Amino acid sequence: MNKLIAFVCIFAVAFNNADAQKSFRLKKLVGKKSNLSSTLPLSVVEIPTGTFIMGDESDTTTVLKKELSKPVLISGFYISQAEITNAQYKEFVYWVRDSIAARTLGGEYVIIESGDTAVNWKVASKINYSDPEIISRLGDLLIDPSKTINNKRAIDPQKLIYLLQGFNYLEAAKKENKNRPPSDFIYKYAVAIYPDTLCWMRDFGYSNNEQMAVGYFSSPKYQNYPVVGVSWNQANAFCDWMTKQKINTYQSKNRLSEGGKCRLPTEAEWAYAASLNQANVNTKKSSSEEDKEGDGNVTAQGKIFPVYVNDSKKGKAGLYNMADNVSEWMVTSYYEGGENFQNRFNPDIQFGTPESQSKFQRRKVLRGGSWKDSPSMVTTANRSYEDMDATHSYIGFRVVVNLPE
């Protein structure tokens, strides 16, 4: 729901938090059912266009470092009410698995559309992976039985590759590139999308977390818990899939305006939403006070490991777990001192395509505390960074959705 707002209106027409809160709306984004298992609707909260002071105590971007405070204008957007769950991410994994399997099997599992091969989902959604005949035809997609514990042939999770494609608007917008064709700025890169389930073992030395490594992503018990062990690149791949297979398909089917996009939030968008959520913004209150107000301190409640995404109370904007449960990936690159040069209109810092970024540019912002943190760090003020390929048992993500009017 991007709205073009003249920059001169930033200070002439400013939305304060009290006014903005009157506009919160909960929306269910239900894309085309993917013929896979259960398709969970994505509950999102509409965050209206408004201004806030980025860097002050109400924004709380600075537990680790004092930053420059300044008013910024944020265009309206939708943000997922809770972190993306194992069930939602698993649907993405199954879609990739079935897509690759269908193209490998060929025949009735694919159809030809305008000269291109496409998956025939009416058949591909019913692939029986326990059928010996099917297994024998999947070939290189399977793990060598001699390398498994039970000597059974199964699909190799490392072979579940998603081709992420996009357009590099930053490069295309440069003056020196104005005469180059648009095709020069299309990028493609492959992402292995299966979560790193062994992060539970690596994150905590001399600790018995084997049960979490084995069951957290696969067990039905944890389906509505936040997905973890997912890198920044994998989170972006999920967003790309959501855009193309859910949002755009749903818009086209229902003859709605096209152009919707699912993506990771910028740090400014996340901080703005957190400031409106208010109950989650807490730098000075005790954990017991925070529990009474809203988002809840998971660690202080005596809970270990992540919890059900709707397990705590909602904040005033209707968002869950902005301060705790898992720290969340931002699309924004971490840049020391970046607050000094970011624009006041939708501030953000990004560097080219993922494959072209230097070691320094690969650092991506994380916001919010997590289940492993001490009570003082369970706050929306918690700000850190990790490499874009890092995977941890305490990092997940939520998404932002832009919808055209």
pLDDT in tens, 27-51: 665 433 332 223 345 888 999 999 9
Low-confidence ranges of the chain (pLDDT < 70): 1-41, 56-68, 250-259, 279-303, 404-405
**What whole-number distance in Å separates Cα of residue 199 and Cα of residue 389?**
12
- At 301, which CATH number? 3.90.1580.10
Is the residue at 142 inside a domain? no
Q: 77 and 48 in contact (C-beta within 8 Å)? A: no
Q: How far is CA 188 from CA 104, 165, 196, 322, in A?
A: 21, 4, 23, 32
Structure tokens, 201: 């073992």
Residue 389: closest CA among 235, 263, 168: 235
Phi, psi of 178 (to 5 degrees): -65, -25
Q: How far is CA 339 from CA 53, 61, 66, 345, 370, in A?
A: 12, 11, 11, 12, 24
Q: What pLDDT, in 10s, does the model give residues 243-279? A: 988 887 766 666 656 667 899 999 999 999 999 997 4
Strand partners, 103: none
Q: What is the separation of C-alpha 123 from the centre of its chain, rounded to a whole number of angstroms?
A: 30
**What whole-number distance in Å separates Cα of residue 308 and Cα of residue 234?**
21
pLDDT at 26: 62
Task: Supply angle C-alpha 213, 321, 329, rounded to 5.
Answer: 65
Structure tokens, 225: 């818990």
Is the residue at 158 inside a domain? no
Is the residue at 178 inside a domain? no
Phi, psi of 63 (to 5 degrees): -85, -35
Structure tokens, 374: 């001490």
Is the residue at 303 inside a domain? yes
Q: How far is CA 75 from CA 158, 166, 197, 329, in A?
A: 38, 22, 36, 20
Q: How far is CA 367 from CA 12, 156, 164, 380, in A?
A: 31, 33, 24, 7
pLDDT at 27: 64
Structure tokens, 83: 């972190």
Is the residue at 313 inside a domain? yes
Is the residue at 235 inside a domain? no
Q: How far is CA 70 from CA 55, 268, 292, in A?
A: 7, 12, 30
Residue 19: closest CA among 55, 57, 49, 54: 49
Question: Domain range holding 39?
Answer: 9-85+259-402
Is the residue at 180 inside a domain? no
**What whole-number distance in Å separates Cα of residue 53 and Cα of residue 70?**
5
Phi, psi of 114 (to 5 degrees): 55, 40
Q: What is the pTM of this model?
A: 0.83
Domain tally, the chain: 1
pLDDT at 33: 30
Is the residue at 222 inside a domain? no
Residue 329: closest CA among 356, 297, 303, 362: 362
**What whole-number distance in Å separates Cα of residue 386 and Cα of residue 363?**
5
Q: How far is CA 105 from CA 100, 214, 326, in A?
A: 9, 29, 39
Phi, psi of 165 (to 5 degrees): -125, 145
